Structure 1
Amino acid sequence: MKSVLWEKGDKIDMVMQELTVGNDHILDKEMVIWDCIGSAAHARMLCSIGILTKADTESLLSELKNIYALGKDKKIDIPANLEDVHNVIETMLVEKVGEVGMKIHAGRSRNDQILVTTRLHLRNMLLEWLQSLSGFLQICFVRYTELKDVLMPGFTHMQPAMPSSVGMWLHAFIENSLELISEGLMLLKIINVNPLGASAGFSSNIPLDREYTTNLLEFSRVQRSSIDCNNSRGRFEEKVLHFGANIAGLFEKMACDIMLYTTREYGFFSLPTELTTGSSIMPQKKNCDIVELLRGRGAKIRASALEVVLITAKLPSSYNRDYQYTKEPVIRTRHELGEMFRMAYLVISRFQVNKDRLAECMYPDLYSTYEANRLCQSGVPYRKAYRMIAEKLRNGTYDKKDLEGDFLIIATQTEKYLKEAKQDFDVLQKEIEIWAKKFESIEKNIFSV
């Protein structure tokens, strides 16, 4: 039977091994390609400092490239007795290239090996979310152009408050998305530091060239403290999952609004029949299940972020086996948020607007603040103007007259802000594209000497 990397000839209690491995051998199928990339960088660095020959390095890189391709197609099986992706890849290398495969672990611990693997995975996941936010924003810009002139009531305390528009409603999600992209790009810079070479967490007496692997893997810099490399495991996952929860919060709010606006009582929006489900007993039902589940999924992502916080909050410095449990919430969130993006794309691109119902709900008193503001501009103190209009509303003498025209001031301002938002988006989109090109170049070039 093939053995784990840490096997030294002592007897292993198989129940203990089963309990400590957990589901790592299942989760790590997601990590194969990232371990191959990190291992390729490490091999190339070992060649540069003379530990591997060029011929050895070429053999290792060739086989790592093959394993990478299998991992990309999810064709790597990880037996439970081999624990994880790192054991499996080294075992495969030894089987294919013999003793040369045993050389790749020089100067490296599974601690910094898993750190660089998960760091590459986290980085890619973050970029994927930024690209998906970009796609969501582009849909919102299109829908804004279509619906910007459709008036709708604005609500506070869930009561009709002031005139608004479908365009203004969409604008809110545009600005939130821009804020999230800015936040995500900043987070990408924070986590883009290289832990490879920290070894078990106390550096190595082999003169590893950490700048070399930093450049190969397009990290911004070396993560300098080898102890902090281990301390950052869980800490960086927590930051990324909180960012994921913030994206989920955007979709939760959008979903809550749409659930309200598609009820018969509101009747502002609807979903096309093909995006609704039915009832097993009530023939008339057309349920917006996709919106409810979009809203519900956000709670699952928040729970994953909290899970990582609770696992890591109590730990001392350096490596602790508890970190094993930070992997599953990350992989789970990648899937959940990916599904949320798919749901949000469908809903925001295809919701329909009931213009007649919206016009019907543009109640005269929505414009009462406009009249108070007009009086204020004519020199009446605002508190006095406020009370004058309140008295008119109370005794039934209020008349909105020509106040609808004042919304043009708001609409013109919103249009100006949308142009600025598009300019901001263009800048952010270019930055996302730069990151994407960097990461694409790694996968193209990392397996060459």
Structure 2
Amino acid sequence: MKLWEKGTTVNEAIEKFTVGKDRELDILLAPFDVLGSMAHVTMLESVGLIEKDELPVLLDSLKKLYQHALDGDFKIEEGVEDVHSQVEFLLTQELGDLGKKIHSGRSRNDQVLLDLKLFTRSGIREIVTAAGQLIDILLARSEQHKEVLIPGYTHLQVAMPSSFGLWFGAYAESLSDDLELLLSAFRITNQNPLGSAAGYGSSFPLNRQMTTDLLGFNNMNYNVVYAQMGRGKVEKIVSFAMANLASTLSKLAYDVCLFTSQNFNFVSLPPEFTTGSSIMPHKKNPDVFELIRGKCNKIQGIPQQIALTVNNLPSGYFRDLQIVKEIFLPLFSELHDCISIASLALEKLVVNEHILDDPRYDYLFSVEAVNKLVLKGVPFREAYRQVAEQIEKGEFKPEKAITHTHEGSIGNLCLEEIARKKSQIVDNFGFEAIEKAVSALLQ
């Protein structure tokens, strides 16, 4: 069953190729397609395109479909082209001609635009929640181990003293900035395209502000041509923001892989968080972080895939955009899994508290020695020369007391400030207002 069918049977090979993975992927969009239909029919009743007594009948059936979609019971039947067709087919099957009225004033083009916006909005919320929890874990571990010093590196050479407080806290703040970028992408997402129809509007007296409010959008894509142009653009912007977060996770995972090696021995994982070797009985491999690194590196390629698919398209709808769904929709569960498993593993990460007992790290304190001379009145360049000479002669004796006090340093981690930054960013998403609007629509 196809909404556009006019009596001509499509060649079987052509149909298989053009439908692609839509049936499989559209299951992810099902609850959002139903929500959009609920808002749309509510609006149609307000402008006289559906009778007053017909609206509760439609809404009741749509609510049942919504619950089926949430429960995983929604299926796109063989021969049905996509989720939009399946929803209309089921309504028509149950309600007869009344079910056929729901498509007035819209096209599958703005339906899929809306579905993708609602899906993305929901997916971003899950990512933000998971990332917020990971930030909290990192801040807690930073506070827990703030006194434990570790080597800091430049060029992978021993450089200056760092600490687990700094290391954990650095990733907490980095992820907070990643959420800031995701917030910008969310604001572009959280605009209603419904009513743009096939990209050129409708002669029906649609009330687009009403559907915007019913679905909890912050505002709408006002220009109907731009609403259609937003397909692919939104996915590219959101995927870039998520790739940025994945980049932070990948770097963190690389650090952990490095730090768990015997050559570093800064941290270790509990045995149940590692895997072994089929021939080397001593091996305890950090596969979990290697896979986080690999998956997050893969995610960083997704914006380029989307860009290469959509960048050479003129305005209007083209079937190329179907391919973007295959790239974009799985992104959310993949990144969410990486964040969740990183949270689980980092909570159990075991810290070595005696790293700097090893004399190989004595030169970490050379800058501290230079600075102490400067504080006694020795010009910096002369102090640098004196300490360098001690090192060359093998006479350097480190003093391992650290007295860093400025904001963000070993002795002043600013963890409360980072936590506050994170909370302010999360609050700015306004998820509660969206939840309130959607809950009202479902009542």
Q: Normalized against structure 1, the TM-score is what?
A: 0.94
- Structure-2 separation of matches of 1:194 and 1:325: 22
Residue 439 of structure 1 is matched in structure 2 by 434
Q: 1:411 to 1:111 in 2, by over 3 A?
A: closer
The letter of the residue matching 2:212 is T
Q: Given residue 67 of structure 2, which amino acid in structure 1 is its aligned partner?
A: A
**Residues of 2 paired with 1:349 and 1:218: CA distance?**
36
Higher helix share: 1
Deviation for aligned residue 1:411: 8.0
Structure 2 equivalent of residue 426 of structure 1 = 423
The one-letter amino acid of 1:163's match is P
Structure 1 distance, partners of 2:394, 2:410, is 32
Q: Does the 8 A contact of 1:152 with 1:164 survive in 2? A: yes
* 1:122-201 correspondence to structure 2 within 5 Å: 122-201=120-199
| 2:135 alignment partner AA | L
The counterpart of 1:47, out of the listed 38, 45, 48, is 45
Give me the whole-angstrom Cα distance separating, in 1, the residues matched to 2:323 and 2:144: 46
Residue number among 209, 224, 227 corresponding to 2:207 in the alignment: 209
Q: How many angstroms apart in 2 are the aligned matches of 1:387 and 1:237?
A: 55
Deviates more, 1:350-359 or 1:307-316: 350-359
CA distance in 1, matches of 2:279, 2:418: 47
Deviations 1:168-194 (A, max 9, x none): 101110110111222222221122111
**1:412, distance to aligned residue in structure 2 (A):** 6.6
Tell me if structure 2 keeps the 8 A contact 1:152–1:359: no
Aligned residue among 103, 106, 119 for 1:105: 103
Determine the C-alpha separation between the residues in 2 that align with 1:107 and 1:216. 17
| Kept in 2: contact 1:151–1:165 (CA 8 A) | yes
Amino acid at match of 1:41: A
Distance 2:53 2:84 in 1: 23
Quick check: 2:138–2:168 contact (8 Å CA) kept in 1?
Answer: yes
Q: Structure 2 counterpart of 1:38, which letter?
A: G
TM-aligned CA deviation for residue 75 of structure 1: 1.1
| Mapped contact 1:251–1:295 kept (Cα < 8 A) | yes
Deviations 1:239-263 (A, max 9, x none): 1111111111111111111111101
Q: What are the ranges of 5 or more consecutive residues in structure 2 without an aligned counterpart?
A: none
User: Is 1:259–1:291's contact at 8 Å kept on the other side of the alignment?
Assistant: yes
Identity percentage of aligned residues: 35
Q: Does the C-alpha gap of structure 1 residues 325 and 80 become closer, same or farther in structure 2, counting only changes over 3 Å?
A: farther
C-alpha separation in 2, matches of 1:416 and 1:297: 31
Output the amino acid matched with 1:165: S
1:74 aligns with 2:72: yes
Query: Which letter maps to 1:442?
Result: A
Instruction: Give the superposed CA RMSD.
Output: 1.8
Contact 2:216 2:437 in 1 (8 A): yes
Counterpart residue identity of residue 264, structure 1:
Q
Q: Which runs of 5+ in 1 are unaligned?
A: none
State the alpha-carbon separation in 2 of the partners of residues 227 and 46 from structure 1. 22
CA distance in 2, matches of 1:398, 1:224: 69
The one-letter amino acid paired with 2:424 is V
* Whole-angstrom distance in 2 between the partners of 1:71 and 1:148: 47
Q: Distance in 2 between matches of 1:292 and 1:412?
A: 29
Cα distance in 1 for residues equivalent to 2:304 and 2:320: 15
Mapped to 2, the partners of 1:362 and 1:166 lie a distance apart of 19
TM-score (norm 2): 0.96
CA distance in 1 between counterparts of 2:360 and 2:126 reads: 41
User: Is 234-243 or 180-189 further displaced after alignment?
Assistant: 180-189
Partner amino acid for 2:172? I
Instruction: Return the offset for 1:419.
Output: 2.2
Q: Distance in 1 between matches of 2:209 and 2:420?
A: 36
- Aligned 8 A contact 1:195 1:223 in 2: yes
Moved more, 296-305 or 166-175: 296-305
1:234 counterpart letter in structure 2: G
For residue 80 of structure 1, report the CA deviation from its aligned partner.
Answer: 4.4
Q: Which amino acid in 1 is paired with 2:340? A: R
CA distance, structure 2, for counterparts of residue 261 and residue 407 of structure 1: 24
CA–CA separation in structure 2 for the residues paired with 1:22 and 1:309: 20
Worse-superposed segment, 402-411 or 90-99: 402-411
Among residues 339, 342, 359, which one is paired with 1:341 in the alignment? 339
- For residues 132 and 283 of structure 2, the distance between their equivalents in structure 1, rounded to whole angstroms, comes to 34
Matches within 5 A, 1:1-400: 3-360=1-358, 363-400=361-398
CA contact (8 A) 1:90 1:102 kept: yes
- Give me the whole-angstrom Cα distance separating, in 1, the residues matched to 2:103 and 2:406: 67
Provide the rounded CA distance (Å) in 2 between the counterparts of 1:227 and 1:78: 30
